Structure 1
C-alpha cells in the first residue's frame, strides 16, 4: 500500500502569532501568483495560507486555491527545509489552474532555497530536461541548416 501524504495539525500554522512572526521576521519572495513569507526554523515545515477576498470575492475560488496549495505542500513537505511558510495569494491566482498553482508554488520554493533544485542527472536519455551541452555530438539525422525547398511563386 503506498504511503499517503498527510497534512497533520502539526504541519499547519494555526495561531495569529505564528503568522505575525512569519510576516515580521521571515524572508519574502514573490511571483505573479503568490508572495511567500518564509521564517526559517529547525522544526518540520509548516504551512500557512492567506487568500483574501481581494483575490476573488467567491469563496469557491478562494477554497480551490487553498486546496491546490495544501495538496502540493503534502507532496513536497518531506523535501522542504524546516520553518514556517506563509503563502499570500494574489489576484492572478484566481484564474490559474491547479497545476499552474502547484508549479508556481514549487518554483517559488526553489527560488527561496527551501526546496532542492530538480536534478537532470537521472533523466532518461532522449528527454528534454536540462540544456544540451556545447560539446555534445550533433544529431546526424537533423540537417545543420534549413533544407526545405523554396517553391516558385510564379
Structure 2
C-alpha cells in the first residue's frame, strides 16, 4: 500500500535546497502558479512553497493556498518522478475557490513531471510580434 503522508523528507527545508532549483530549472506555469523543478538524487519528489505577502496579503489566505498545494502534492507524489519542485503563486489567486486552485495544480503536476524527464525538448518559442510606429497607427505624431 502506498504511503500518502507528507513528512519532512518530502519537503524542501533549507535555502540551499531552494537555490539549487532556481539555477536553470524546468518550468511550468499557469495564470495562478509557476513551478520550477529539477531532478534530485533521492527516490521521491520534494516540494517547497513560496507564497509571497506581496501577492497574497492576508495570512489566512496564504495558509489556505499552502494547505491546498500540500494536499494536492501529497495525493500526486507517487505519480511524480524524483524531482524537487518549488511552487510560487501569482497575484489574484486568493480570489479563487479551492476547487479552481486544485484543478490548476492537477494540470501542473503532470506538466512539470513531463518536463523533468530525460530527453524532454521544449517546443520552440513563438516569436513576439513587434509593433513599429505605434504612434502613427494611433493617429499621433
TM-score by length of 1: 0.68
Q: CA deviation at 1:50?
A: 0.3
Q: How many residues align?
A: 114
2:40–2:82 contact (8 Å) kept in structure 1: yes
2:56–2:94 contact (8 Å) kept in structure 1: yes
Q: CA deviation at 1:5?
A: 2.2
Q: RMSD of the alignment, in Å?
A: 1.8
After the TM superposition, which residues 48-127 of structure 1 pair with which residues of structure 2 at under 5 Å, given as runs?
Answer: 48-114=48-114
* 1:20 aligns to 2:19 (yes or no): yes
Segments of 5+ residues of structure 1 without an aligned counterpart are: 116-154
2:76–2:109 contact (8 Å) kept in structure 1: no
Segments of 5+ residues of structure 2 without an aligned counterpart are: 116-141
CA distance in structure 1 between the aligned counterparts of 2:25 and 2:3, rounded to whole angstroms: 30
Q: CA deviation at 1:24?
A: 1.2
Q: CA deviation at 1:79?
A: 1.0
Q: Compare relative contact order (CA 8 Å, sep 6+) and give the higher one, 1 or 2.
A: 2
Q: CA deviation at 1:40?
A: 1.5
1:32–1:92 contact (8 Å) kept in structure 2: no
CA distance in structure 1 between the aligned counterparts of 2:37 and 2:70, rounded to whole angstroms: 16
Q: CA deviation at 1:78?
A: 0.9
Q: CA deviation at 1:62?
A: 0.4
The runs of at least 4 consecutive aligned structure 1 residues that moved more than 4 Å come to none
Which SS does the other structure have where 1:25 is aligned? Answer: coil
Q: CA deviation at 1:114?
A: 4.1
